[in-house]
């Protein structure tokens, strides 16, 4: 029996992880694609006149089991993968791409959709139904429904190739990350690195059957070494290894894949009648056009550059005192930490005992309770995909709102970084409000036998960030699954996550949870004050970095001709020259492991992190002016979150804030400007 083909007979119909074996996936996908195709055929061949209900709505609820199994499989391919799952992914991705293409190129089905769409002004539809109709019609047109047969076949092939190449890019980046580790037996080489980190390095060495210490390119291992190691040669070696990921000419090199992916995306855009891929993507964003994005990024560049240059001059002064004449990128974290400690007397390692993972999680749960009336209870009767995962039932006034999976620690089969995802969307059907299953995945240092998992302050903000996304899913209250939760425009999706980070810098909130894990002592007022002041520390440099990545992304997707004559490295240097602070190393490049844009959903959309910062700065300013726990404003913000993609995001924001977002709020927060 294949559990993926049965109704999930589990609590809350949660994913039956313990029952699933790898051999279940491919047969399940093959069978469920057939089932979903049959559902689409029934809609297509319905003898009745096309209506919103029998066509648009029916499509929104089709393929439910296929969607759930896809969520399980691809989420595990990120959080708990292995060679076999990656191999299955190579078979499954083309299967799903072919299925999507068949639907999007189904002329008879499109005729029905167009029939309903052409009558939209005469139909009595509510706002959400209108949005679903528009998005469904537009989705077909953007998938080639208006193309001739020959061009449809071309588009199908392009989509198939992109699916395979994007997957390969991500697998290469992960393999390249996992392929490197630095083994050190002489503790003297690790001078400056705090004992708690050394303990983790020692644990990692033991896992590999080695004596001494092991540093990997996983973020919780790599970043502390760059931040604290006094050994400059070690910092240089690690930074070089990190910068060479998928850029060393070896079997995991991504340079050719980048050129192939970019070329395919350009071909797709032109086939659909767009000048370039950025135009194609941005039609469906708040920003609307590449010109608007370039204008936005360049405005931030102009504002941030003087501040960034001033910040780097301060670091150069510190480096010169150590005899370093020319500071390099691999020196940045080390001297930034020194300067931060000097300016704010803040040391990440000194602060970590005040940020025990469990207490930080309690704080974010409590904040969700205070703002939105949510309650969290750990439960142990839901199947999990790994022992590290904890599961929580979320309720509001006694009613179940969501199921939450919390997965916080790194392991071999888990990709780096932090993300929120979902195993089941929220929707309303047959009088039932079917609630979502949400997951928050991070890579925080594991507890040891003597020490709990202690977070850097940056990791604290990371947890709040991902939980902001989670709340978008948890509070979802829409009719249709494809407009639910985080199913919003890409440059709107980061608002809830970045908004929640702001609370980490508010003294009255910090005092409620920043307590020493051994003594219970509250983080002293002067430290809290300095933490709050430190929010804008190195903001010029960070803005330049984000703007540089945004410009590089936009260039790849709107200025492709030059990429044919330049190497990936040359192209990257040329497009980010205005934002470069440190000399470029010919042996390293960012693009070959830039998974956000070549595997994830941020192609022609990386700018949205800064765009969303404008939204979140302006939204939080509203709270600041009226009290950070103001119930009326929280109630309005809850409506924004629960509405998902049912309305235009600017309309949602204006209904919450009373006006369009103002870039001045971000500049004020970042630079006091």
Report, as residue numbers or ranges, the catalytic residues: 466
Token readout for 125 is 């539809």
Q: Which residues contact 405 (CB under 8 A, 6 or more apart)?
A: 384, 389, 390, 391, 423, 437, 438, 439, 440
Residue 373 · residue 385 · CB < 8 Å: no
Burial of 395 (0-12, 13-18, 19+ CB in 10 A): middle
Residue with tokens 């928050």, as numbered in its chain? 440
Token readout for 70 is 């896809």
- In 98-156, the DSSP E strands lie at none
For 516-558, the DSSP string reads -TTT-PBPPHHHHHHHHHGGGTTHHHHHHHHHHHHHHHHHHHH
Residue 509 · residue 364 · CB < 8 Å: no
Distance, C-alpha 185 to centroid of its chain: 36
C-alpha 155/C-alpha 145 separation (Å) is 10
Q: Which residues contact 170 (CB under 8 A, 6 or more apart)?
A: 415, 595, 598, 599
**In b/e form, how buried is each residue of 234-258, taking b as 16+ CB within 10 angstroms?**
bbbebbebbbbbbbbeeebbbbebb
Distance, C-alpha 359 to centroid of its chain: 24
Residue 556 · residue 574 · CB < 8 Å: no
C-alpha 614/C-alpha 628 separation (Å) is 18
Over its C-alpha atoms, the chain yields an Rg (Å, rounded) of 25
C-alpha 445/C-alpha 453 separation (Å) is 6
* CA atoms in the 13 A half-sphere facing the CB of 612: 26
C-alpha 420/C-alpha 352 separation (Å) is 24
C-alpha 299/C-alpha 289 separation (Å) is 16
DSSP 8-state secondary structure symbol assigned to residue 152: H
C-alpha 294/C-alpha 305 separation (Å) is 16
Residue 479 · residue 128 · CB < 8 Å: yes
> CA triplet 65, 473, 15: central angle to 5 degrees?
35
C-alpha 116/C-alpha 325 separation (Å) is 69
Identify the CA nearest to 547 among candidates 303, 239, 245, 253.
Answer: 303
C-alpha 379/C-alpha 406 separation (Å) is 12
**In b/e form, how buried is each residue of 80-106, taking b as 16+ CB within 10 angstroms?**
bbeeebbebbeebbbebbebebebbbb
Q: Which residues contact 350 (CB under 8 A, 6 or more apart)?
A: none
DSSP 8-state secondary structure symbol assigned to residue 18: G
Torsion of CA 319, 324, 326, 332, to 10 degrees: -40
């Amino acid at each position: 029996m294949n559990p993926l083909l049965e109704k999930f007979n589990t609590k809350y119909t949660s994913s039956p992880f313990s029952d699933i074996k790898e051999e279940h996936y491919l047969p399940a996908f093959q069978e469920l694609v057939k089932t979903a195709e049959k559902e689409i055929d029934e809609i297509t061949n319905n003898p009745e006149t096309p209506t919103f209900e029998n066509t648009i709505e029916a499509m929104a609820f089709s393929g439910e089991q296929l969607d759930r199994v896809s969520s399980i499989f691809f989420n595990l391919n990120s959080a708990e993968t292995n060679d076999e799952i990656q191999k299955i992914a190579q078979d499954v991705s083309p299967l799903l791409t072919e299925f999507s293409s068949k639907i999007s190129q189904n002329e008879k089905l499109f005729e029905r959709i167009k029939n309903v769409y052409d009558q939209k002004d005469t139909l009595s539809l509510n706002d959400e139904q209108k949005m679903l109709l528009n998005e469904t019609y537009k989705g077909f047109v953007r998938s080639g429904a208006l193309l001739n047969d020959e061009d449809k076949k071309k588009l199908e092939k392009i989509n198939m190739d992109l699916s395979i190449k994007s997957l390969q890019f991500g697998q290469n980046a992960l393999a390249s990350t996992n392929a490197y580790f630095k083994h050190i037996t002489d503790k003297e080489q690790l001078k400056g690195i705090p004992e708690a980190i050394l303990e983790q390095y020692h644990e990692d060495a033991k896992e590999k059957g080695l004596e001494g210490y092991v540093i990997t390119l996983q973020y919780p291992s790599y970043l502390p070494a760059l931040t604290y190691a006094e050994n400059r040669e070690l910092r240089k070696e690690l930074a070089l290894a990190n910068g060479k990921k998928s850029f060393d000419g070896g079997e995991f090199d991504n340079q050719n894949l980048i050129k192939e992916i970019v070329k395919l995306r350009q071909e797709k855009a032109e086939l659909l009648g767009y000048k370039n891929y950025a135009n194609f993507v941005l039609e469906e964003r708040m920003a609307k056009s590449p010109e608007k994005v370039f204008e936005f990024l360049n405005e931030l560049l102009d504002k941030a550059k003087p501040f960034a240059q001033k910040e780097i001059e301060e670091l150069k002064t510190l480096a010169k005192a150590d005899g370093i004449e020319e500071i390099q990128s691999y020196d940045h974290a080390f001297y930034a930490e020194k300067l931060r400690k000097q300016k704010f007397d803040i040391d990440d390692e000194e602060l970590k005992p005040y940020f025990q993972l469990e207490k930080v999680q309690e704080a974010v749960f409590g904040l969700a309770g205070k703002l939105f009336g949510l309650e969290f209870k750990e439960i142990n009767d839901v199947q999990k995909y790994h022992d590290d995962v904890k599961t929580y039932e979320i309720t509001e006034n006694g009613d179940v709102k969501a199921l939450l999976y919390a997965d916080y620690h790194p392991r071999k089969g888990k990709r780096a970084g932090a993300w929120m995802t979902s195993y089941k969307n929220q929707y309303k059907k047959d009088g039932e409000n079917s609630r979502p299953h949400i997951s928050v995945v991070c890579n925080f240092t594991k507890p040891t036998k003597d020490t709990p998992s202690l977070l850097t302050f940056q990791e604290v903000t990371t947890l709040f960030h991902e939980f902001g996304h989670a709340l978008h899913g948890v509070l979802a209250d829409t009719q249709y699954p494809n407009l639910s939760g985080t199913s919003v425009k890409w440059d709107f999706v980061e608002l809830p996550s970045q908004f929640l980070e702001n609370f980490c810098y508010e003294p009255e909130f910090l005092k409620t949870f920043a307590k020493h894990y051994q003594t219970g002592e509250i983080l002293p007022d002067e430290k809290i004050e300095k933490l709050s002041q430190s929010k804008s520390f190195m903001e010029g440099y960070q803005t330049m970095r984000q703007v540089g990545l945004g410009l590089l992304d936009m260039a790849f997707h709107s200025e492709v001709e030059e990429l044919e004559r330049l190497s990936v490295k040359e192209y990257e240097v040329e497009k980010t020259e205005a934002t470069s602070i440190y000399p470029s190393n010919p042996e390293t490049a960012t693009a070959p492991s830039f998974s956000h844009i070549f595997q994830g959903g941020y192609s022609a959309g990386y700018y949205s992190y800064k765009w969303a910062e404008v939204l979140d700065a302006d939204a939080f300013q509203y709270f600041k002016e009226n009290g950070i726990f103001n119930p009326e404003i929280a109630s309005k913000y809850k409506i924004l979150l629960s509405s998902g993609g049912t309305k235009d995001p600017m309309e949602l924001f204006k209904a919450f804030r009373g006006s369009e977002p103002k870039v001045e709020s971000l500049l004020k927060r970042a630079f006091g400007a």
